[in-house]
Structure 1
């Protein structure tokens, strides 16, 4: 039976959604094509109708996840403000985000695998990071502060997810959030 082009695209999007969640939860390299396809109700053989290799799927997942993260955390617009940045930080550095690995930021979940990926994946990652950093740098009037803020967020989330006890996880995100919000208040331009 022949499927429409829209069916193929819908299946591809379902595969990206499902594979992205699985990769962030379990690690991409540890999951086989058959398991990724089974999650969307297809056979492993159908995979090659959508991607030429598992590496191509990984590149598509990284591109999609980082684009979505950059849009949520700092899409360039006239309405991006310190208040919006503070709300982004509060959502990012929260227990809910720590617990939602599958639906959360891909950087702490897939960062080590991205670092080992081919140059094209690392370049697309860098582009997404630079887009976010530029928005934050413009708001903060500092390239260095924007990189430090981004690094603190990712590092805190990663450390919290690595910790076994809820108490430690909560302490990490709470203290990091308080530190960053205090810094933003201190760095705010005088009215």
Structure 2
């Protein structure tokens, strides 16, 4: 049985994109579907998606994710993080995903989980060369700190104050995310998303 709950944050406004990037189509699928598909193939104690969007709620429910409606997305990313923690089962660790990483690699997710399971007191962060990104696993001992986050602050403040962090090498694709239209166009130039 997995010790970890997966929390997917999908409440953002995509202001830099000008439209909801998670519902942009790539190879006839919504971007969010790639993220959810690969997570659904991994073994988690709980799989939960936090969103303000009806369409994403529908997609999540079709893939058997627990869906939590974010009624206050204007409060920033901290609201999604807190809703995720409050609504999932008590777990040894909480793995936070963003919805705009369509090239996430299942093997990398499993590698991060395995490293966490070796010692569940460490925060586990993926890296490629000098870049760090999501998904990050937080041990349950940080639960209260997470619930005290405010505004548009994510978990970086928790990471900065922790002395128990493990960085895990992942492939470049896993950290690829869509922040703007250039990133999306870069994605479209690729032939296809490889099978996980």
TM-score by structure 2 length?
A: 0.27
Higher-strand-fraction structure: 2
Q: Which has the larger radius of gyration?
A: 1
Taking CA–CA contacts closer than 8 Å with sequence separation of 6 or more, which of the two structures ends up with the larger relative contact order?
Answer: 2
Bigger share in helix = 1
